[in-house]
Structure 1
Amino acid sequence: VGDAAIQVDPFDPNGMAVAIQQLISDAGLRSELRDKGLARAKQFDWNETARQTLAIYQKAVK
């Protein structure tokens, strides 16, 4: 996740409410996190995942 999201404890409803309120009330924060989230998502690629998986399998059979 890095700095592309607000992290909250999933068992803390008050913390979730605070994070949601931040996003509702702060358009700049929403925009920043949206942009960072899109950039972060581009770091994940199925071809790279397949390459890494193949490398692990190849290492396992040696």
Structure 2
Amino acid sequence: MNLTIEIEKEADGRFIAEVINFPGVLAYGETREEAVTKVQVLALRVLADKLEHGEVTPEL
């Protein structure tokens, strides 16, 4: 599965990363890398939850 991540720099200097495929999955970080890492972890948690509840099926 490919995740499309959009990254923006906020006025306060923090970065916000959002996974376009999962509405509401976003994370802040002090650096681009930190924001991307945090949002990837969150996206995987959301995906795992959806798999657990049968909302999506795994691609093999």
Q: TM-score range by the shorter chain?
A: 0.3 to 0.5
| Rg larger in structure | 1
More helix by share: 1
More strand by share: 2
Structure with higher RCO (Cα < 8 A, 6+ apart): 1
Structure-1-length-normalised TM-score: 0.35
